[in-house]
Structure 1
């Protein structure tokens, strides 16, 4: 199992490195074609170069961010299990894509304006994803700290029931009448968690 995980980590690192190398090569080839080769045959596509480079940066940037998030996933998987590793992977992906978009926007504007624009877009993305990212980070903490486990009888933010699942964004609780309640993880982090005694859990089951 450990060997398999190590192999997957190595594979994820290898793919990420390949994506970076491919991006550098493809970007250089596109630059050569547009600035050197096409003008030699009287074709002018220089005005389109920035758009092509942006598309390349977005495509390869997403692949690179996904590769890095997989490295974190496979590195954490043996120790913390799938739920925690998946939570960290998703958080890294959200942060990476936000940083990628902000960096590309800043590079397009260039200079001080680019820095300001990149920072502004980063703030906008941060506010837009604050709720989701907050829930994802809270879910990651819940999965690492494990204040409760699946099948525990709990009271979370006033909801009594059995924990069915703890995911990146929500904790699912099954109430006594069979109703499933999806509780945002950031709401749980900010409130008291009641773990009911084993005897009570056995009686209710």
Structure 2
């Protein structure tokens, strides 16, 4: 991607972020306030389901706002960092944003201490369910930030020798001498010896 496209993508992402925030405010006000005042027959139905409507709108628009914000972080980082690093940080912001959204909605609907307990329980469930994936993602983030190996290096890691073809959030891809690809989980990469046979030029 050429550097001229990055400022354009930053502007587009900011516009998308602002648009999703405005849409959330306008549609929520329209459904929960304006329509019941204009059509009194609908008011009892909307009042009865107001909590569920609010949760649905918050989940949908919250996810879209988080996605737009994560994309903004990605393009801001692309000014100085390669795609792989920016993509790893974008994934991290998306995961944290979704967790914060779920905890916020739980706290808002259950209220007070019950909301905190429910948010904590949801966090524990998500944490246990995604423990390995999150461990790999965090290890991938460390690999991308610390850069013990780079794309194009000839290495021997986790018993696999070859040239580093890609470093993503979850896996490091190594092209072996027989032209096959080895996908090494990043937590194995962090926990094993790394032999750099030849640095990329």
Task: Give the TM-score category using the shorter length.
Answer: 0.7 to 0.9
State whether structure 2 residue 110 is matched by structure 1 residue 109: yes
CA drift at 1:166: 1.2
Which stretches of structure 1, 4 residues or more, deviate above 4 A after TM superposition? none
Which residue of structure 2 aligns with residue 192 of structure 1?
A: 193
Any conservation in 2 of the 1:161–1:175 contact (CA below 8 Å)?
Answer: yes
CA drift at 1:89: 0.8
Return the alpha-carbon distance in structure 2 between the equivalents of residues 151 and 47 of structure 1: 60
Equivalent pairs counted in the alignment come to 198
| Structure with more of its chain in helix, by fraction | 1
1:80-119 matched pairs, under 5 angstroms: 80-119=81-120
Q: Deviations over 1:153-196 (max 9, x none)?
A: 21112222222221121011122333321111122122221101
Q: RMSD over aligned Cα, in angstroms?
A: 2.2
Return the alpha-carbon distance in structure 1 between the equivalents of residues 150 and 43 of structure 2: 65
Greater shift after overlay, 172-181 or 45-54?
Answer: 172-181
List gaps (5 residues or longer) in structure 2.
none
State whether structure 2 residue 34 is matched by structure 1 residue 41: no
Return the alpha-carbon distance in structure 2 between the equivalents of residues 27 and 34 of structure 1: 10
1:32-181 matched pairs, under 5 angstroms: 32-33=33-34, 36-38=37-39, 40-41=40-41, 44-45=44-45, 46-181=47-182
Return the alpha-carbon distance in structure 1 between the equivalents of residues 161 and 4 of structure 2: 42
Q: Deviations over 1:119-176 (max 9, x none)?
A: 2112221222222222222222222332222232211122222222211210111223
TM-score, length-normalised on structure 1? 0.86
TM-score, length-normalised on structure 2? 0.87
Which SS does the other structure have where 1:196 is aligned? strand
